[in-house]
Structure 1
Amino acid sequence: MTPKEELVSLWSFLYLKLPHKVLTYFHGSHIFLPVMYYLIFFTGFWGNLFVISVVASKGKRGGRLVDIFVVNLAVADLIFVLTLPLWAISASQNNYWNFGAASNLLCKLSSYIISVNRFSNIFFLTCMSIDRYLVIVKLMDSRHLRSSWCVIGTCISLWMTSLVLGIPSLVYRGVDPEGSQSCLDDKSSTFYQVTNLIMTLLTFVFPVLIIVLCYGTIIMHLNKHCSAVGNPRAEARRRHSLKMVLCIILAFVVSWLPYNIFKTFSIISHLFQPTIGCETQNVLDNGLVVSCCMAFFNSCVNPVIYFVLDNHFRKRAGMLYHSCKGTSNVLQSFNSSTTFTNGSENFGTSGGRSQFQI
């Protein structure tokens, strides 16, 4: 078998056969999905709440600019996981969406929250990549762009954009009044299907290309200047922060790529070939189910990445733990410190200017 044939065979197994095998092993989605949804709910809820608590405890002068994006990601994931019990209950009833008079409203709102979460996550991750590019490649030219007020304004703009882009899900998702009584897309609307394709391009493909461009430039810059005389500790902190952000982005891409692939194939097949075979439809349906779970898992992965890779976050979590036990003097001494173990950049105001520590 040639390398090309092996690659095709691997792709066929991962994206066509594996989803069906997984669902068969768990005796159907009514067992597999509720277990996964509740697992993601509990880990995502406590994990992201923990991240918000740790970052918020730093105060204005104890934080880093990258933490503004971190806490926004955590808030988006926290709001999203709150909807998962609804989907778990529905999945346990073979996708029957039965929540009384509020069924249709809950279907629309939960679908809207999922869309907003997907858009806001990729937008914030793209901004984190641009931020790493500015701090490593364009440090002297990016002081104003990386001020705390500029970053906060950017986050507000991204939230507003995500809320607007999620409106089609709010309008075109609902409980199917006939047949399955499930929470589904309105596949009869060509406008909505085409909009979904465009959204995939604008909110996944383009941002990923920007992220790849930023990190490609960063790696080239670091390799070019690795032997330059400078501050070794600052360079080590930059590299460590870069590694953490890169892991967060890779986790997002790995989690959401299969879903976007299956979603795209499903939309294209419906638009250009309305009547497809039962086997093909079964593959697409099972693929969407499993890839959707993979995408949802992204909401509970980031806290683990922060705790494992970010020494500053881990140290701060320990200080917060001791503070809760009553040893607040340790926490205060940490806040008064002017350096961090792995850090990135501090934000705060002094004389109307942002202060940075790279």
Structure 2
Amino acid sequence: MQSTTSPSTLSMGDEAYSYYSYENESNFTDNETYDLSGDFSDLPGSHIFLPIMYYLIFFTGFWGNIFVIVVVGSKGKRAGRLVDIFVLNLAMADLVFVLTLPLWAISSSQTNGWDFGFASEFLCKLSSYIISVNRFSNIFFLTCMSIDRYLAIVKMMDSRYLRSSKCIRITCAALWIISGILGVPSLIYRKVAPSVDGQSCQEDEKLAILIGMNLGMVFLTFIFPVLIIMVCYGTIIMHLNRHCAAAGNARAEGRRRHSLKMVLCIIVAFVASWLPYNTFKSIKIISYLSEGELRHKAWLHNGFLVSSCLAFLNSCVNSAIYFFLDHHFRRRAKFLQLKSFTPLQFSHVLHRLSQK
């Protein structure tokens, strides 16, 4: 059976089952073994489509996020918007994440799995840590973007300090620190271990007893933030519907609605990308807790694999959202082109955007 080593499931702290190798599942007892050649099998062709998928996400996400960083990070004649601070941090998080994908592409295509010589252990821990920090920081930044939109539209006069550039920058720095701390268990407990074929970058089997905590991690890093986001946008929509007739400053109201639309699209893309993954992950955690045979079913393994790829796509869709939905972004991109400011030679893309 072809060894399928994948960064699937993005390391979530100290989760107790192997995210990165589906053949070498962590057991609950030292004596418990399973015949993984039965119901549990690789997705047909995964050693071909996984590397291709990872490389496509890498190239698209790499250039797309660099472009976003250049455009948003450089100021033209006008100061950038406050929401751009979150956009810039999201792009940096996604850029660092996609840099790990070539490792997983190579590992997925190799018959000996995660084999990078003397650097195997170091790369396993580092890439797992980066993936974990990216996951945490993304959802935290998106949640704060939703709260920022709520403050800007619903609590406009009462939130001037909270929506200051200084306060938002401090918030982003704090979120990076928190994400870095939450990712430390991945840095400590990920290791290179033998799998059915070759080696895999996986979780320490001794952490299996902590698997119940990981269900709480799903709630903390996905369900709870999404609930906050839903409350924020539900309140915003009700507020806009109540005040749509009072057009005191139609232009400012239009800008707020446009910014709201962009942020909402980013959040919808994130939820759509990560919901299948978190669903399969929750099922897998529950299957471990119940000690049933569900964890060895091929559909669970294959669904986990496909949903992980879908989740990784989120690292490159944000740049497309900015391209097509943010007029302010396009104007700034055109300005940088005219000033010959950008180091990226995206002249053809910029020319098409400037004509829209």
TM-score, length of structure 2 as denominator length: 0.81
Opposite residue 176 of structure 2, the aligned amino acid is W
Aligned residue identity for 1:131:
D
Report the counterpart of residue 256 of structure 1 in structure 2: 274
Structure 1 vs Structure 2: percent identity of aligned residues? 68
Q: CA 1:197–1:244 in 2, change beyond 3 Å: closer, same or farther?
A: same
Q: Which residue of 1 aligns with 2:337?
A: 321
Question: Which residues of structure 1 form unaligned runs of 5+?
Answer: 1-22, 327-358
1:281 is displaced (CA, Å) by 2.5
Query: Aligned AA for 1:36?
Result: M
Q: Which residue of 1 aligns with 2:240?
A: 222
Q: Give the RMSD, CA atoms, in angstroms.
A: 2.0
**2:78, 2:326 → 1: CA distance?**
18
Looking at structure 2, the residues matched to 161 and 134 of structure 1 have their Cα atoms a distance apart, in angstroms, of 23
CA distance in 2, matches of 1:94, 1:214: 48
Q: What corresponds to 2:319 in structure 1? A: 303
Q: What are the equivalent positions in structure 2 for 1:32-71 lying under 5 Å apart?
A: 32-58=49-75, 62-71=79-88
SS of 1:98's equivalent in the other structure is: coil
> Residue 143 of structure 1: SS of its match in structure 2?
coil
Instruction: Report the CA distance shift for 1:103/1:204 in structure 2 as closer, same or farther (over 3 A).
Output: same
| One-letter amino acid of the structure 2 residue matched with residue 90 of structure 1 | S
Is 1:175 aligned with 2:171?
no
In the alignment, the residues of structure 2 paired with residue 120 and residue 45 of structure 1 have an alpha-carbon distance, to the nearest angstrom, of 18
2:337 maps to 1:288: no
Alpha-carbon spacing, 1:192–1:108, altered in 2? closer, same or farther (3 Å) = farther
Give the helix-richer structure, 1 or 2: 1
Paired with 1:297 and 1:43, the residues of 2 have a C-alpha distance of 9
Matched, 1:72 2:89: yes
Matches of 1:135 and 1:152, distance apart in 2: 16
- The change in CA–CA distance for 1:194 and 1:87 in structure 2 (over 3 A counts) is same
- 2:114 is the counterpart of 1:97: yes
The one-letter code sitting in structure 2 at the alignment partner of 1:53 is: V
Distance in 1, matches of 2:222 and 2:116, equals 33
Residue of structure 2 aligned with 1:189, choices 181, 201, 207: 207
Cα 1:310–1:50 shift into 2, 3 Å: same
> For 1:40-94, what per-residue CA distance to the aligned partner results, in whole angstroms no more than 9, with x for missing partners?
0000000000000001111695211100000000000000000000000001125
Decide which of 216, 223, 238 is 2:256's aligned counterpart: 238
- Whole-angstrom CA distance in 2 between matches of 1:60 and 1:190: 55
| 2:332 partner letter | R
Residue 77 of structure 1 aligns with an amino acid whose one-letter code is D
- Tell me: CA distance 1:325–1:258, structure 2 relative to 1, closer, same or farther (3 Å): closer
Partners of 2:168 and 2:212 lie apart in 1 by 33
Between the aligned partners of 2:80 and 2:306, the Cα distance in structure 1 is 38
Residue 192 of structure 2 aligns with an amino acid whose one-letter code is: V
Question: Deviation at 1:291?
Answer: 0.7
Q: Distance in 1 between matches of 2:180 and 2:327?
A: 33
1:202-239 CA-partner distances (Å, limit 9, x unpaired): 11111000000000000000000001141111111111
Distance in 2, matches of 1:186 and 1:176, equals: 9
Q: 1:276 aligns with which of 282, 293, 301?
A: 293
Which position in structure 2 is the counterpart of 1:109? 126
Q: 1:177 deviation in Å?
A: 3.1
What CA distance in whole angstroms lies between the structure 2 residues aligned with 1:167 and 1:60?
41
Distance 1:207 1:60, change over 3 A: farther
Report if aligned partners of 1:168, 1:192 keep a CA contact under 8 Å in 2. no
Indicate conservation of the 8 Å contact 2:247/2:253, yes or no: no
Structure 2 gap segments, 5+ residues each: 1-41, 343-356
Correspondence for 2:144 among 102, 122, 127: 127
Task: For residue 194 of structure 2, give the secondary structure of its aligned residue in structure 1.
Answer: coil
| Conservation of the 8 A alpha-carbon contact between 1:48 and 1:77 | yes
Q: Which residue of 2 aligns with 1:353?
A: none
Please say if residues 187 and 193 of structure 1, whose CA atoms lie closer than 8 Å, have aligned partners that are also in contact: no
